[in-house]
Chains A and B, each alone.
Chain A
Amino acid sequence: MNRIGLLIAWAMAISACIFLLAPLLVIAAASFSPTPVFDLPTGGASLRWYQRIGTLDGFWPALGLSLQLALVSTLVSLVLGTAAAIAIVRGRLPGAEAFAAALTSPLMMPGLVLGIALLQAFRGVGLSNPWTSLFLAHLVITLPYVARTMIAGMTRFDFTLIEAALTLGCTYRQSVIKVMLPALAPSFLVAGLFSFLASFDNYPVSIFLTDVRSKTLPIKMLQYIEEAPDPTIAALSSLILLGTILLLVLADRFVGLSRMAGTNEQE
């Protein structure tokens, strides 16, 4: 690449980084605002907005519901998605390629459309319990993430290692637990991470399936922002952001960001 091209590339990359980080930095700064109008903390930082998060109307039940949904749907998706990935990559599954494409297709699906489609379907079978409806919906949201990552992970896994373990005297169960699971651990971690975040942050599907008493955290947050945006929401946003950073640091330590970005290079 010539020099001008390279210069443009670097200028774009650096401005993109600043542009992408700007909203996150602003949220963090605004959460320490000394006044209720999002002043940047020039005079003195204040922690009072963090103390007020718990007093937000309906915050704790919403947080609880969102955590439950994200954890349970991620765990179930990990089991079912991994089983499906084994069948697709290893098994003699008729139509494996079409099935793999179908499994990941909800990823490209407009969330609102899935939301109203599920609303109609649940109403049609008389399912009105919001927890069950939300759980089933979040299963459809998380399963494609798990399926995509696990299919890619299994495709890279060298299955002759299992045969090697068998030759060396392992039972089949031992070879799966001691050889295959550790080798696939990074894929599980990435799949779980994306699946958890996709569920925890989902708004467009959940909005159609909640009732007055059971609202997920994103729905509550949008409501807070539209009704009375004050630094308490910035403090809450900063805590969510902090949680996300911790998850990413964890993923980076075990997997590496380059691999998460989908490159096959060795580092």
Chain B
Amino acid sequence: MTAPAPLLPLDRETRLALGLASPAFLILAALFILPLALLLAVSLQGAEGLSLAAYAKLLGTPHYLKIIWNSLSLALIVTGISLLIGYPASFAIARAKGHWRSLMLACLFLPLAASVIVKAFAWTILLRSTGIVNQTLLFLGIIDQPIRMIFTETALVVGAVNIFLPFMVLPIFSVVAQFDRRLSEAAATLGANPLQAFLKVILPVTMPGVIAGVALVFSLSVSAYVVPTLLIGERFPTLASTIAKSYLLTREEAFGAASGVVLLAIAVAVVMLSARFGREGRR
């Protein structure tokens, strides 16, 4: 008796690997790729068959273009500020030794692990007119009377930077921690001034971390929902709040789906751009 011939001419190890990978692959296909394809189909659904009406409404009316711009500008500002704080901070954390480094890493991990809702709620307390920020500014004589901060753009940016900053610091830190300090010393020995050493040696070497951090913070903040909801509310509609509203309140699902596809396209574009720049950086 001969064994039945296998369906595919695969050796035992390949079949074992396929077997191990298939449950995760099926989950990915059935619960991620197919639903996204379905979402695209729903976004193209009009009253009578295929239609681009939802996209025309989203990309053709000033009101909704403003909403897309709100999401993009929030992400740009939050990413920029996070980079300005996070880049130098990563160097200090990487240079720190022993307990200092553990302490500073704990300062990153604890907020990172803490619930987003809890942190956003804390900012609503901090920024209210009788809150600590106002009290401190009054005490320091910077302002004469409490200023309105909650439900303003400032509150939104402060809260969002607070929540997304660790995602900027960690990738940069992990690159800087492996950075050989002797490189910049060598540059100095060879006659480079500090600025040249920074631009020609330190910046290019740490670029992969910067690109990873920027991509992460941008894609997280462009789709943020909880932070804008609690810190600014309906005054500042975003793509994310438009999606939620279309599905949960107004039941305009084709429009909500189209907004989702546009948000997804932005996120995918960021990932692809960062992968591309990452490759070029390594060259």
Contact = CB atoms under 8 A, between A and B. Distances in A.
A, B assembled together: yes
Interface of A: 1-2, 4-6, 8-17, 19-24, 26-27, 30, 37-38, 40, 80-81, 83-84, 86-88, 90-94, 99, 102-103, 105-106, 108-114, 116-121, 124, 136-137, 139-140, 143, 147, 193, 197, 200-201, 203-204, 207-208, 218, 221-222, 225-226, 229, 233-234, 237, 240-241, 244-245, 247-248, 252, 257-258, 260-265
Contact of A26 (B35, B103, B125, B226): B125
Contacts of A143: 24, 27-28
Interface of B: 11, 13-14, 16-18, 20-21, 23-25, 27-28, 31-32, 34-36, 38-39, 42, 85-86, 88-93, 95-96, 101-111, 113-119, 121-126, 128, 130-132, 162, 165-166, 169-171, 173-174, 177-178, 181, 184, 194, 198, 202, 215-216, 219, 222-223, 225-226, 229-230, 240, 243-244, 247-248, 253, 256-257, 260-261, 263-264, 267, 270-271
25 contacts: A6-B95, A13-B96, A14-B92, A16-B85, A20-B110, A22-B162, A23-B119, A24-B118, A26-B122, A27-B125, A38-B125, A83-B20, A106-B32, A109-B32, A110-B240, A118-B35, A120-B38, A120-B39, A201-B117, A203-B225, A204-B240, A207-B248, A222-B229, A233-B121, A257-B109
A114 B32 contact: yes
Contacts of B18: 87, 91, 93
A27 B126 CA distance: 9
A221 B124 CA distance: 14
A6 B198 CA distance: 12
A13 B89 contact: yes
A265 B177 contact: yes
A140 B267 contact: no
Given A9-B92, A116-B260, A218 B267 contact: no
Nearest to B209: A262
Given A23-B122, A262-B170, A147 B256 contact: no
A144 B177 CA distance: 25
A245 B110 contact: yes
A91 B225 contact: no
A91 B14 contact: yes
A101 to B, nearest CB: 9
A154 to B, nearest CB: 12
Which has the most chain B C-beta neighbours within 10 Å: A21, A112, A247? A112
A86 B130 CA distance: 55
A97 to B, nearest CB: 13
A82 to B, nearest CB: 9
Interface of B is mostly: helix
A124 B36 CA distance: 13
Given A16-B86, A112-B260, A113-B263, A222 B42 contact: no
A92 B174 CA distance: 30
Contact of B223 (A112, A119, A137): A112
Contact of A237 (B121, B166, B174, B270): B121
Given A24-B111, A120-B39, A264-B178, A9 B105 contact: no
B186 to A, nearest CB: 13
